[in-house]
């Protein structure tokens, strides 16, 4: 396995053939909102991350408990409380940042 790998394609199908626990770090950009099954999405990130590995997920998920811009229309609406609770069951550390409304960073560590 190379030191780094850039994948382009449909996630999580694009990660077929990559072994369990092989990623020390992952940067996933603007993918979650196109994934029909968020459970499968986060399960795949968990599968790929090595123990202690970190994933930074950038996505325009609107946090229902934060302000929503009128022009932003998406079905990907979660509460921060739900995401923290859901992800805490799968990862040892979870942080959600919202540097700008509609541009969230979900940072998880295995």
Q: How would you classify the pairing of strands 49-59 and 103-109?
A: antiparallel
Triad 61, 12, 86: Cα angle to 5°: 50
Q: Tell me what pLDDT residue 17 has.
A: 87
What gap in Å lies between CA 91 and CA 110, rounded to an integer? 5
Spans of the chain, pLDDT less than 50: none
Burial class (CB in 10 A: 0-12, 13-18, 19+), 45: buried
58 and 28 Cβ atoms separated by less than 8 Å:
yes
**pLDDT tens, 56-82?**
998 876 566 665 555 555 555 677 778
């Amino acid at each position: 396995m190379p030191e780094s790998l850039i994948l382009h394609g449909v996630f999580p199908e694009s990660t077929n053939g990559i072994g369990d626990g092989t990623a020390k770090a992952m940067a996933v950009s603007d993918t979650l909102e196109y994934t029909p099954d968020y459970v499968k999405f986060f399960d795949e990130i968990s599968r790929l991350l090595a123990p202690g590995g970190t994933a930074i997920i950038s996505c325009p998920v609107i946090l229902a408990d934060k302000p929503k811009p009128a022009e932003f229309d998406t079905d990907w609406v979660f509460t921060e409380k739900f995401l923290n609770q859901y992800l805490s069951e799968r990862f040892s550390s979870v942080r959600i940042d919202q540097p700008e409304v509609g541009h969230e960073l979900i940072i998880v560590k295995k």
